[in-house]
Chain A
């Protein structure tokens, strides 16, 4: 480093950087990357929430391992929680109680661990929605989408194994259900259940095994995949929303040092702080109330954590189909909701970017995000999937909903069963229509400016509605829309009458492409836009003398600066020049 260090601490820092650089060549990396630009948008922080809550899960989880004992040996509880004193329970449960009652701050850490685990999965899900609906998974980011899908699946596994460890009545019942699910798998299910549980349910092996998976196997893979995920983001640079000055070939935002580092680092502490506050103020999983697990007790309202709720809901809503074929039992009532539906959902998620690229024939790199309205079919599919998931999720809590709102869960279940079938297609159609409507509105705006709602009578008696030209931000955002052509229908035979060998596949591709693209509203040409905006400026100018007084008073600052007199507008260049 060739900076001039003037503070003693800086001098030490410089010397250390030199020392490391001589051994690793790290300054080359720093020099290239400390100024790396990240675009700024609140929705780009969803992934950060997931990352930070994962770090908090790791920190708090490590603390918990110092006290937790993954053993199913039965002991007599003799801790300080009186309503369980003298009760027989597993060491796992007893040590979880000790963390909650004997270890000072243990309950806080346990609750922070549980809350941040719930948040981890939630943040991943919402981050995934953001990536999906803005088309951020498109080339060149398909691999990162795949890694993300893998991370989501692993997060569910991490969550469920953790949910099971305290060995309370709730978590044990969850394992009992897992045993039932394993047994439903054709051919190998019975053996799979016996291998997983080390014999019959509940046995004494499952908690230690889940512990190994929960603290070593799953977090290890998670850590590795998260590193890959971040490295890909680093190499490919973050996507950005369309806006003034933002093109497919640049990235506009703040440099890593100092702004982004302060913002991202600050956000970590904010997430950490909120989780600590929630851990201190709000109970999560009060295991002492549920009691120790025994396979012949159950509590009403037995539910998994939210992220498994949809699978529980699927199990509830499934009709009771079971067949015996050639003497072998196939439990469709368990297999479909707990194995086949999640299988289809995750496979669909993983394959989606490749399917869409194939159907649209789009081979370009995309660094500018697509507004959800500009891909109506994709947005529709996403909303339909969320509706499907949401109904299953509601199903997972239908008993609590029934008692809270004085309903019959039987009626509720039937309603949900029907909605599960008809809800997603309806959601798809409505979403697609809304998107197309918004596209039309955008086209209007580009061609005529936006309607001010003010009607003006011209001197010769004509009435016109005043159209205002779009401001530069909106113009940039809307005009960034890209149009893709539907792939042409293939010919059955070529000019020489030779049969097209790939006709069927091409035909399918053509149909998919048409379904995906045909309803889109075309963007006006640049010339049309310019003419439209100029015309809007013209009508606005007609009105201008009438509003002179008001316009003067109008605050030109876009972000609510009302109480102070803002500085004069300057270009970025001017401002940077001024600072130097």
Chain B
């Protein structure tokens, strides 16, 4: 090793050497070890067989994959240790196809590593900057163009052209206005965001079963995800879930003595409180209600609200209380809203506090 290390870097600038192959010159007279496959023909044969068998195995696996596709029932499952009970078709197809493709790659790499020359070669680089003559040629062409077009001379043409080019994209932007198709009398976004289906006397039905809720149905510590009555009809009519996304609420019941504050006088009904289910941060639905602490936690960004205290924010990135819905019961004893939310539900927006 010692005599090799004495080669100083300055001596290693091998790019002066005459190219041995097209466009290449070897990397300087630095040592290069031959591989076993370079010196031992048996080893080379072995490597050849290894590479060839990888390619052959790949073919076998591809055939297996096709057979698996044709024969395995798509609903069959199989128990495999570590993986558990898994879909047979998916696993077998993935394995056979994956292995087949992997083997092509591994074979090619092995071929390159063991049998193709592992002599590194040198190629010259050239500065990216253009030759002087090319530079001048480009400049001359530009001058000719400027001259022949008269771009510099015809001031009026030049300015009007620039103006026209600046204006032409405008319609392409303007047409984006109707990404939201609005009829002439359509309410503004602010109005839309500020109104929900809740009106005075609207019954509260539980989500999923759509049965009206009575106060006595809800024990202390209870939680019900709820919606306004008739939500399904509205959804049917509008063919979307917009109304649901705004009107969804949760009903919780706590000991009336534990309610420290509310957003309005008497907005509860015997300890039953109704709050919007849509987080005031960025709008995830929340119903992670801890009945002991009366905390409501958003699973998306962990804003935490105290429902016993006007829905105030006690942790996390939300800035606003959860909007409370004032409730009462109708003469038949079902829970109803007494008015719409006093503030827009869901995330803040620019015009929110102007409503």
B-binding residues in A (CB < 8 A) = 32, 35-37, 40, 72-74, 80, 101-102, 104-105, 107-108, 111, 140, 173, 176-177, 179-181, 183-191, 193-205, 235-237, 244-255, 258-259, 262-263, 265-281, 294-302, 312, 315-322, 324, 327-331, 333-334, 337, 365, 367, 398-399, 409-410, 413, 469-472, 475-476, 479-480, 526, 530, 533, 537, 540, 556-559, 561, 564, 566-573, 575-577, 579-580
Task: Say yes or no: A189 contacts B350, CB within 8 Å.
Answer: yes
Q: Which residues of B contact A530 (CB under 8 A)?
A: 8
Task: Say yes or no: B7 contacts A472, CB within 8 Å.
Answer: yes
Q: Indicate whether B296 reaches chain A with its CB closer than 8 angstroms.
A: no
Task: Say yes or no: A274 contacts B34, CB within 8 Å.
Answer: no
CA distance in complex: A274, B347 (Å): 42
Task: Say yes or no: B7 contacts A263, CB within 8 Å.
Answer: no
Known: A190-B189, A258-B116, A266-B107. A277 touches B98 (CB 8 A): yes
Contact among B86, B303, B319 with A322 in the assembled complex (CB-CB below 8 Å): B319
Q: Indicate whether B209 reaches chain A with its CB closer than 8 angstroms.
A: no
Q: Which residues of A contact B101 (CB under 8 A)?
A: 269, 272-273, 276
CA distance in complex: A9, B99 (Å): 29
Task: Say yes or no: A277 contacts B302, CB within 8 Å.
Answer: no
By beta carbon, the residue of chain B nearest A298 is: B285
Known: A262-B111, A566-B34. A294 touches B241 (CB 8 A): yes
1/0 contact string of B277-306 vs chain A (CB within 8 Å):
110011111111000000000011111000
Known: A262-B108, A333-B319. A298 touches B350 (CB 8 A): no
Q: How large is the interface on B (under 10, 10 to 19, 20 to 34, 35 or more residues)?
A: 35 or more
CA distance in complex: A190, B346 (Å): 13
CB distance from B267 to the nearest CB of A (A): 21
1/0 contact string of B113-146 vs chain A (CB within 8 Å):
1001111111111011000000000000000000
Of the stretches B17-25, B149-157, B213-221, B334-342, the one at the interface is: B17-25
CA distance in complex: A267, B112 (Å): 11
Task: Say yes or no: A577 contacts B351, CB within 8 Å.
Answer: no
Task: Say yes or no: B27 contacts A302, CB within 8 Å.
Answer: no
Further pairs besides A269-B104, A337-B317: 5, Cβ < 8 Å: A183-B349, A198-B180, A263-B113, A276-B98, A329-B350
Q: Which residues of B contact A273 (CB under 8 A)?
A: 98-105
* Total cross-chain contacts (CB, 8 A): 420
By beta carbon, the residue of chain B nearest A303 is: B300
CB distance from B225 to the nearest CB of A (A): 7
Task: Say yes or no: A472 contacts B104, CB within 8 Å.
Answer: no
Q: Indicate whether B333 reaches chain A with its CB closer than 8 angstroms.
A: no
Task: Say yes or no: B120 contacts A300, CB within 8 Å.
Answer: no
Known: A564-B36, A577-B20. A298 touches B111 (CB 8 A): no
A-binding residues in B (CB < 8 A) = 1-2, 4-10, 12-15, 17, 20-24, 26-36, 38-39, 69, 74-75, 83, 86-87, 89-95, 97-109, 111-113, 116-125, 127-128, 176-177, 179-182, 189-190, 192-193, 207, 225, 227, 239-242, 244-246, 248, 277-278, 281-288, 299-303, 313, 315-320, 346-354
By beta carbon, the residue of chain B nearest A73 is: B239
**9 interchain pairs (CB within 8 A)?**
A72-B240, A250-B15, A253-B120, A254-B121, A273-B104, A280-B92, A280-B98, A320-B313, A575-B38
Q: Which residues of B contact A204 (CB under 8 A)?
A: 239-240
CA distance in complex: A223, B123 (Å): 29
Task: Say yes or no: B299 contacts A265, CB within 8 Å.
Answer: no
CB distance from B124 to the nearest CB of A (A): 6
Known: A195-B179, A249-B125, A333-B319. A190 touches B349 (CB 8 A): yes
Contact among A37, A235, A249, A266 with B112 in the assembled complex (CB-CB below 8 Å): A266
Task: Say yes or no: A237 contacts B125, CB within 8 Å.
Answer: yes
Task: Say yes or no: A268 contacts B24, CB within 8 Å.
Answer: no
Task: Say yes or no: B317 contacts A316, CB within 8 Å.
Answer: yes
CB distance from A479 to the nearest CB of B (A): 6
Task: Say yes or no: B94 contacts A557, CB within 8 Å.
Answer: no
Q: Which residues of B contact A294 (CB under 8 A)?
A: 241, 244
Q: Which residues of A contact B349 (CB under 8 A)?
A: 183-184, 189-190, 193, 329
Contact among A40, A302, A317, A571 with B300 in the assembled complex (CB-CB below 8 Å): A302
